[in-house]
Structure 1
Amino acid sequence: MTKPYVFITRKLTEEAMKPLMEVADVHIWNEEEKAVPREILLEEVKKADALLTMLSDKIDKELLDAAPKLKVIANLAVGFDNIDVGYANQKGIAVCNTPDVLTDTTADLTFALLLATARRIVEAAEFVKNGEWKSWSPLLLAGHDVHHKTIGIVGMGKIGEAVAKRATGFDMDVLYHNRSRNVAAEERIGASYTSLDELVETSDFIVCLTPLTEETRGLFNQESFKKMKKSAIFINVSRGPVVDEDALYQALASGEIAGAGLDVFAKEPVDVDHPLLTLPNVVALPHIGSSSTETRGTMMELCCKNIQLVLNNQQPKTLVNKEWGLSVK
């Protein structure tokens, strides 16, 4: 019997892939330096029963129409804005993601980015490495305190709640805005629900953790930054397009806000000559929110397991399009 054909758009660990390779014909795009070219992905889906994809892979109507055998797409991320889930559902294709397993790792990175931006850690490290440290002075690379300040979290899902939990260890007041109230988070952490306007006006640190939707695209814009305190620091570990990057640059360059820590950009990889990268009060990271060896390994294993389950006509562990699951006996 012919094994099902699985195409993986990035190299994974052998440990994660081993169970899948025992039951499927697995092909992998092994180049680390660049994403799989569109034309190759279009050829591969013609014969694929399953895809294991990254956020950088655009899984749209054109690609889905080129995939007559495709049964499942396993996306190595919590988000799935790179996939046309509605159209996949119409075609009876299961779409899976990797929620929960990366919550704490992403929250760690978020708070580390907040600390690094507030205390000018990257700038200070480069100061030493570049031989600029000639003497000590009281205001040398003075940053901003984090403890006893107010953090405003936009997007109080599991990652947002995990960030809020870390903030309580710094005796911070926690505000949040979400499309619906998270009463459980309020009870567990003491977070206070507020409007977006009040959050940006009163918070010392504004942390964006909202998913990318049509409603959140461009959510942080010129108007938003004008409402923030001059001492405010903006952190984005969600998706680049939720921010108007031109407006953010102007706010930072003019001193309208104090700093920004960014793990995501509208275009990734970000261009090396992007204006935001020229500013000393910006800490920029290459989208590494969940990037620990332990967590990425778990994400890979979950994706492979989801593919195995669907190919066996079973319910996957983390299904995005729940309607698909209704057809599984």
Structure 2
Amino acid sequence: MEKLLVRAPMNRESLEKLRLYFTEIIYMPWTDTGERFYEQEMIACLLAEKPDALITELDVINETVLKEYSALAFIGDCRAAPENIDVKACEKYNIPVLCTPARNANAVAEMWVSTLIAFERNLVASVNWTKEKQWQPGTTPYYLWMGNEIYKSKIGFVGFGAVARNIARLLQGFNVEIAFYDPFVKEASEYKKESLEELFATSDYISVHLPVTETTKRMINRDLLKLIKSESLFINSSRSAVVDNQALYDLIAAGKIRGAILDVLDTEPPVGPDSEVVDLPNVLLTPHIYGASHQVVDHQSEIITRSIEEYLKKQELAGVGDRP
């Protein structure tokens, strides 16, 4: 193929590998400006560069874009799922979409463990207390900020894909019981599979790891949330839309559950009910950064490059030449 347009951040090693397949690579990642391309910007870029293939991450690719420019042999999307791409429109124009599943699974897993420990050991509050010079003679921070270990607790995962499995792997040294609910996972020999209701009613920590589909939207509803033990903690680092967040906030504010760790909200930045949860003292809220590590660029670069190589080799074996 002649030209590859790369709109996602990628490492040098992967770009060099791709040069074996493309005469020219135009590297203009969205991180150069900090802004994704929406419809009109994307159309203008494609018409100006006229690439044979595209690698993107955040840019909007929908039917409006493809009506103006559809001469793409494939689109590589550096996302676990192509949320920025209209896959049906791509199918209409016979453009395969390649993704990067589990690109940030390790980043999310490490952050999950660190924020759980930070919550249980009062890390944020104790650091702020110290910085605000409240540590005065006569105070006893050892007892004032005494927290909880996760030792011998039960952790229940709703969804047991790559992220949840990575977290489970990191937890091996903590002596915890791990259970999961996932209708697509038949068994996991070292972990216990449970019903959704049992998981919510018996776990000390309930952690959500679900994509947004017609089936999963608001799947974690008020009835399920009411099953959570009063001393338990709710964690959502996947997608806000899978949880009835108003029901969750009501339970937290009323002291019906011990608290929550959240990395996702219905509205980001928070407004309305989401802005109210910011002030709840028993909520640790991060600004959708669980998957944000510098190493994710390496992971997604390697995964998308491998996928493209496999795709092009299959095309070659099938006798499919370059697209006009």
Structure 2 length as normaliser, TM-score?
0.82
Aligned match of 2:68:
66
5+ residue gaps, structure 2: none
| Structure 2: distance between partners of 1:326 and 1:267 | 46
Counterpart AA for 1:3? E
**For 1:63-93, what per-residue CA distance to the aligned partner results, in whole angstroms no more than 9, with x for missing partners?**
3333321222222222333333233233221
Aligned match of 1:149:
153
Q: Give 1:104 deviation, angstroms.
A: 3.2
Counterpart AA for 2:174? F
Structure 1 SS opposite 2:81: coil
Aligned match of 2:131:
129
| Structure 2: distance between partners of 1:91 and 1:36 | 20
Structure 2 SS opposite 1:278: coil
Aligned match of 1:106:
108
User: Would you say the 8 A contact 1:155–1:210 is kept in 2?
Assistant: yes
User: Would you say the 8 A contact 1:20–1:305 is kept in 2?
Assistant: no
Identical residues among aligned pairs (%): 28
Matches within 5 A, 1:23-172: 23-28=23-28, 29-46=30-47, 47-54=50-57, 56-100=58-102, 102-134=104-136, 135-136=139-140, 139-172=143-176
Aligned match of 1:319:
none
| Structure 1: distance between partners of 2:53 and 2:269 | 26
Q: 1:150 to 1:30 in 2, by over 3 A?
A: closer
5+ residue gaps, structure 1: 317-324
| Structure 1: distance between partners of 2:81 and 2:174 | 29
Q: 1:32 to 1:230 in 2, by over 3 A?
A: farther
Matched, 1:256 2:256: yes
| Structure 1: distance between partners of 2:170 and 2:9 | 33
Q: 1:214 to 1:64 in 2, by over 3 A?
A: farther
Q: Give 1:210 deviation, angstroms.
A: 1.8
User: Would you say the 8 A contact 1:156–1:182 is kept in 2?
Assistant: no
Please, what is the CA RMSD of the aligned residues? Answer: 3.1
| Structure 1: distance between partners of 2:38 and 2:178 | 43
Aligned match of 1:288:
289
| Structure 1: distance between partners of 2:201 and 2:10 | 43
| Structure 1: distance between partners of 2:73 and 2:117 | 43
| Structure 1: distance between partners of 2:32 and 2:229 | 44
| Structure 1: distance between partners of 2:286 and 2:18 | 32
Counterpart AA for 2:129? F
Counterpart AA for 1:173? E
Structure 1 SS opposite 2:248: helix
Structure 2 SS opposite 1:314: helix
Q: 1:16 to 1:143 in 2, by over 3 A?
A: same
| Structure 2: distance between partners of 1:279 and 1:89 | 45
Structure 2 SS opposite 1:274: helix
Q: Give 1:12 deviation, angstroms.
A: 4.1
Higher relative contact order (CA 8 A, sep 6+): 1
Aligned match of 1:178:
182
Q: 1:49 to 1:142 in 2, by over 3 A?
A: farther
Matched, 1:17 2:21: no
User: Would you say the 8 A contact 2:39–2:64 is kept in 1?
Assistant: no
User: Would you say the 8 A contact 1:52–1:75 is kept in 2?
Assistant: yes
